[in-house]
Each structure stands twice: as C-alpha cells, then as structure tokens.
Chain A
Amino acid sequence: MPLARRIIPCLDVDAGRVVKGVEFAGLRDMGDPAELGARYNREGADELVVLDISASFQGRATFLDTIRRVAEQLNIPLTAGGGIRTMEEGRAVLLAGADKVTVNTAAVQRPELISELSQQFGAQAVVLSLDVKRTNGSWEAYVRGGRQATGRDAADWAAEAVERGAGEILLTSIDRDGTRSGFDCEATAKIAATVPVPVIASGGASTFEDFLAVFTNGCADAALAASIFHLETHSIAALKTFLAERGVPVRQSR
C-alpha cells in the first residue's frame, strides 16, 4: 500500500483574485479563488495550495478572507502561505481554515519560526517553501519571491528546517517556474534524498510526461502546478489516468 503521489493545483492570489505570474514577475487575472478551489476539489485534486503573492501587510485581512472562502469549498487538505513572518500570522492562517502553513523568507531570517509553529501545531502543519536556483551544480535558496539570494545551500537549509520541525518541503525551481520546460527533477531528487519528509515539486510543469518524470526520476511525493490546470490545458483526471497506466500510484476519483 504505497502512498498515492499527490497532484496539487496552486492558486497564486493577489487582492482576492487568482493571478498567474511568469518567472515571478508579470501578472494576469485567472479568476475567483473559491470558484477555482471548488472546481479542483470536484475534479480530483489531492490538495490545494493558496499563496499570497502580494504578501503585503495591508493585504493580510483580504488573504485570510480568501482562505476562509476557499476552505469552505473543500473536502481535501488546504495549504496556505506567503509572507508569513510570525507565529501569530501562522496561527491566523490555520484558524482561517488552512491545514498547513508555508513559511519562506521569515524562516530564513529567523529559523526559530519553524520550531515555534511546529511545537504549537505539529510538524504536519508546517511546510517549508523553498525557492531554489541552480548555481554551479548545486542549488541555492532564494527568498523574497525568488528575488534575493541567501547564500545558503538549498539542501543544507532544507535539512535544518526539517530538523526544526518542518513536515514537508514545497520546492520551487526558479529556473523552471513559468517556463513550461518541465520540473527540475535533479533538484527535487537531491532534496528528496536529503530530508526524511515529503517533497512537493513545483515550477515548470507543462506535459503529462513532466509529472511522470518528477515522480520517477525526481522522487517527488507530490507535484504542484498552476496555469496548466487553470487554463484547462490538462484535466486532473486525465493526468491521473496517464500516471496510473505507467505504474505511478495515484488516487483516482470514482
């Protein structure tokens, strides 16, 4: 009985609307988060991720409202984050209806944030969002929406975050994000081999073969994508059938 590999649509939200970014820059309106969430719930998504890409102080109340509206539509797990700086902000995200909270920039600046959230809510509720860029054969962790290098090796940082209580890693390849050139399987395999927690691969999904590759060569436990699902380029059910036929364990709706 192997765990099913998860297919996770991601809603990047700004001011209460789902937007589509290209390589962390340039936005386009993709619809209402609650409507999209309901659609993915119905279509067999295994989980939903909602990220506040504005991550502004003013936008926080709107984002919490978005989480509440999306959570009401779901009977699958919901992960939410973007700009979470404190324990209290994390708590607010979970109380609004998310099952897990992602942390990124603030956790690099103050890694204790991970420990605090994990002790309070459990490791299963804390996801390290790790944005990486390839530099000379290894991967460096970036923060501030992929704009700022940290100088930290991504695998080292992932290992520390897990040690501190992160229960999952959401690994985004900045090189691949928005390019539709496939997941970074090498980066995913590297992180998956480093940490004892599930790894969600993100960035670059375009074809069904990309998902197959990241679940096999990339050793990913889950794969996340946004625009290819929003634009209805691919249906989740067809993707799962494709994967099941090639021996990847997936949960198929009946």
Chain B
Amino acid sequence: MKIAIVDYGAGNLPSVERALRGLGAETERATEPAQVSQARAIVLPGVGHFGAFVAGLRERNLTEPLRAAHQSGTPILGICLGLQAMFASSEEASNESGLRFFPEKVTALPTNVKSPHIGWNQLRRVRDGRLLRGVPQDAYFYFAHSFAAPGSAPPTVAACDHGVSFAAVIERENLFGVQFHPEKSGETGALVLRNFLELL
C-alpha cells in the first residue's frame, strides 16, 4: 500500500512527492476515491485558494473517502492549505465548508502585519507532539500563507506568532497538519516528514 498524495487539480505536488520519495516512501497521486480509501497514509498538500481546494475534492468525489479514512484511523497529513481544509470553514471562501475534522474556523491573518506571511519562522511548542520529535526548539520552517487556524484550537501542538497566534502544527489521533511547507523547509522539514513516515 502506498501513500496517497491527494491531487485536487492545482497545487505543487511534485515537491511533496520528491521529498517523500527521497525519504524512501512509496507514493502515488490520488485522483480517484479508491486510491484514497486504499491508502496506507494520506497527504493533503495544498497551495492556492480554500474554495478551489474543497471544490476540487468534491468534484473528484474525494471528500467522503477522506472522512471515511479519518474514521478508520488512516494517518492523514495536511500541509498548508491541506491543514486549513481539515477545519470547518475559512474566511477565504465563506460559502464553502471544509472537511470538518475540527470545528474551528480558519481566518485571515491580521492587517497590522505583512500578509502573506512569507518566509522562515520559528515555532512555539504548546505540548508534546510526534511530528516535532527531535526537532530543535529554535528551528525555522518556511511559511507562505494569508489565512490560518487559531493557535487556541485544541489539536495545536505548536503555534507560530505573526500578528496573531496561529496553529503551526496540529495533531489528534490519526490527524496531522503543518501550516508550513516541510518539503521547502530544508533538513528540519525533512525531519518532520520522516517523523510522519515513522508513524506508519
């Protein structure tokens, strides 16, 4: 069984794919419900627009298989927009609904700081988590986003501050998410992906 990288029709799949394969993982691009249902683990990569993301999942009939995978305990890792899609909704597309794994709402970053939040930032650990095992406290990760889930959301294991505290790493049971791009975050990013693979 392979790791399904969900292909919702946009987004930068090759770099996530290359990073996972570089760590020895077998991956496939999932565009069909069966690929999601049969996967050993699922990666939801994402750049772009929340509305386009969830609509892309819906048009490919991937929303229900993702919810079923969550129920059956398949590890799921959301990256950037993929993390945001795990929440109920987003200000970026208020008429669309997310995967609703978590009830909180994704909101725009405040206007008193530069947005998009683009660049390398550090994390503030909230509690112990599995994705950050062995990652130095002061490690930097690459972020590129204008919206974020609240740092007060219960699944948050590490927050980041950019005008507001937002969820940078989330974990609950088989659900994992990172607001930064591990595939673009050098060696420390690779360590986070390795930690995810080691859960499988």
Contacts and interface: CB of A to CB of B under 8 A. Distances in A.
B136 A75 contact: no
Contacts of B52: 120
A2 B121 CA distance: 7
B186 interface: yes
A125 B47 CA distance: 8
Interface residues of B, number: 39
A59 interface: no
Interface stretch (B59-67, B98-106, B111-119, B170-178): B111-119
Interface SS of chain B: helix, strand, loop or mixed?
mixed
B132 to A, nearest CB: 15
A122 B49 contact: yes
Interface in B39-84: 47-49, 52
Nearest to B92: A122
The contact size tier of chain A is: 20 to 34
B175 to A, nearest CB: 23
Nearest to B47: A122
B196 interface: no
A208 to B, nearest CB: 20
Nearest to A126: B116
Given A1-B124, A75-B184, A99-B144, A119 B116 contact: no
B116 A94 contact: no
Interface string A59-77: 0000000000001101111
Given A75-B189, A122-B48, A197-B115, A4 B121 contact: yes
B162 A99 contact: no
Contacts of A120: 10, 48-49, 52
Given A123-B116, A124-B116, A71 B14 contact: yes
Nearest to A91: B10
B195 interface: no
Interface in A194-216: 196-198
Contact of A1 (B19, B118, B161, B187): B161
Given A75-B183, A99-B184, A3 B119 contact: yes
B18 interface: yes
Interface in A99-158: 99, 119-125
Contacts of B142: 46, 76-77
A14 interface: no
Contacts of A41: 186
A242 to B, nearest CB: 18
Contacts of A122: 47-49, 116, 146
A168 interface: yes
7 contacts: A74-B184, A75-B19, A75-B186, A76-B186, A196-B111, A198-B118, A222-B119
Given A167-B146, A196-B114, A198-B116, 9 more contacts: A4-B119, A71-B14, A75-B190, A77-B142, A120-B52, A122-B49, A124-B146, A167-B116, A197-B116
Interface of B: 10, 12, 14-15, 18-19, 47-49, 52, 111, 114-124, 136, 140, 142, 144-146, 160-162, 181, 183-187, 189-190
Report the 6 A-B pairs with minimum CB-CB distance, sorted nearest first.
A124-B144, A251-B140, A4-B120, A124-B116, A3-B119, A167-B116
